């Protein structure tokens, strides 16, 4: 059995790498350079024309909607925010997150704030979510979500009013981890900010507060979770529907952890609820968890050579994600900023978000 598995893996590797660039001096591409290119085509999306954000519109900033395509062929919907009056080419910033949110909730607030401070900024809906295309709805995966950031850089790199040598990204909550992963692989990203970061692959694989658990306990729990999610795939295919994991609880009880109550106060109240957000509604597809359990996203974060600013709240339950990720970063151009008294959700929409500090970081590094 083991011998057969080794032969299968060896064959799979051989098939998979032909024609792909390999991290080796001896590697040479074998693809046909004269093969015809495929035209990138965006799907026509029916985008909402009204302002349906949970934050107020800033009249100092121009706003419009656009679409762009990632390498999986998914058409992403985005909001552009830019200063009302400027000349020449601007530094640009792509913003996404939190995990489960849409651009109308948090990322748009960040993008608008950056535009007010002189940047060309976009906030986008991830693949399969919000106004972006893709079916089934609300599918997530580490590779897919990292690619969405890189696709945003594709778009920004080709805009006539953007200096494509000066592009940065902001990842909020779970998208902070994806931002670091994107920065590790895409050298066009010249500076990265994470705010109230989660490593979604870690939390889904290990649960919360895994520093207090031993490796064998984590392994057993992960295997049980894999079995449940794998069986659900069979059930989904048989029924032709997809079980959803469920969003943030619509009701809270006294025994719930404070951070769950904080999530409820944002996602399930007028403060932050949005009908297109799977955090506010159905959650992601249940089987999405499988890829997160086996694809850790921060493996190469120590190879990020460009500047990184990591921001987290002092009182956030998730603070350990940023602190542990920061320890792995290398170089003198990395900074961890802890916001006194701030919780995780405070960095979604409160006046504790250090927008001026973020803008200064990008001005100094883009």
Phi and psi angles of residue 35, each rounded to the nearest 5 degrees, phi first:
-65, 145
Poorest-confidence range of 29-38, 39-48, 107-116, 297-306?
29-38
Contact partners, residue 256, CB within 8 Å, separation at least 6: 249
pLDDT at 42: 81
Q: How far is CA 180 from CA 54, 199, 363, in A?
A: 27, 10, 19
Instruction: State pLDDT tens for residues 53-78.
Output: 999 999 999 999 999 999 999 999 99
- Nearest CA to 168 out of 148, 197, 188 is that of 188
> What pairs with residue 120 in β-bridges?
92
Domain 61-205+296-365: which CATH class? alpha beta
For the chain, the structural domain boundaries read 61-205+296-365
pLDDT at 2: 44
pLDDT at 41: 80
- Calculate ∠ Cα 290-226-216, nearest 5°: 115
Tell me the mean pLDDT in the region 3-27.
43
- What is the per-residue burial (b if ≥16 Cβ within 10 Å, else e) of 57-87? eeeebebeeebbbbeeebbbbbbbbbbeeee
Instruction: State pLDDT tens for residues 194-207.
Output: 999 999 999 999 99
Write down the H helix ranges in the chain. 2-17, 107-116, 142-157, 174-185, 200-206, 215-239, 258-267, 289-294, 319-328, 346-349, 355-365
Quick one: the chain helix, strand, coil %, rounded to 5? 35, 15, 45
């Amino acid at each position: 059995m083991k011998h057969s598995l080794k032969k299968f893996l060896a064959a799979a590797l051989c098939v998979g790498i032909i024609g792909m660039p390999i991290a080796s001096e001896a590697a040479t591409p074998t693809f046909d350079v004269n093969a015809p290119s495929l035209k990138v085509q965006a799907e026509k999306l029916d985008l909402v024309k009204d302002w349906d954000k949970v934050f107020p519109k800033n009249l100092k900033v121009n706003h419009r909607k656009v679409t762009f395509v990632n390498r999986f062929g998914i058409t992403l919907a985005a909001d552009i925010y830019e200063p009302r009056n400027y000349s020449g080419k601007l530094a640009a910033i792509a913003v996404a997150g939190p995990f489960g949110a849409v651009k109308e909730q948090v990322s748009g607030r960040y993008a608008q704030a950056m535009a007010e401070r002189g940047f060309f900024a976009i906030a986008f809906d991830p693949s399969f979510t919000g106004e972006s295309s893709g079916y089934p709805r609300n599918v997530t995966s580490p590779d897919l979500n990292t690619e969405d950031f890189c696709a945003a850089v594709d778009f920004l790199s080709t805009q006539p009013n953007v200096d494509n040598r000066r592009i940065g990204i902001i990842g909020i909550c779970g998208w902070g981890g994806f931002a670091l992963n994107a920065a590790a692989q895409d050298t066009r990203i010249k500076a990265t900010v994470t705010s109230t970061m989660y490593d979604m692959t870690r939390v889904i694989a290990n649960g919360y507060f895994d520093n207090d658990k031993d490796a064998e306990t984590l392994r057993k729990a992960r295997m049980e979770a894999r079995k449940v999610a794998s069986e659900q795939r069979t059930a989904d295919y048989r029924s032709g529907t997809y079980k959803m994991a469920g969003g943030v609880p619509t009701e809270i009880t006294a025994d719930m952890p404070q951070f769950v109550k904080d999530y409820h106060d944002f996602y399930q109240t007028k403060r932050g609820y949005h009908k297109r957000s799977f955090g506010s509604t159905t959650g992601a597809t249940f089987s999405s968890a499988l890829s997160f359990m086996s694809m850790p996203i921060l493996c190469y974060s120590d190879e990020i050579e460009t500047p990184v600013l990591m921001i987290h709240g002092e009182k956030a339950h998730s603070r350990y994600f940023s602190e542990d990720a920061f320890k792995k970063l290398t170089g003198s151009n990395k900074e961890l900023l802890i916001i006194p008294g701030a919780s995780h959700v405070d960095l979604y929409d409160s006046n504790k978000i250090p927008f001026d500090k973020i803008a200064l970081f990008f001005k100094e590094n883009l």
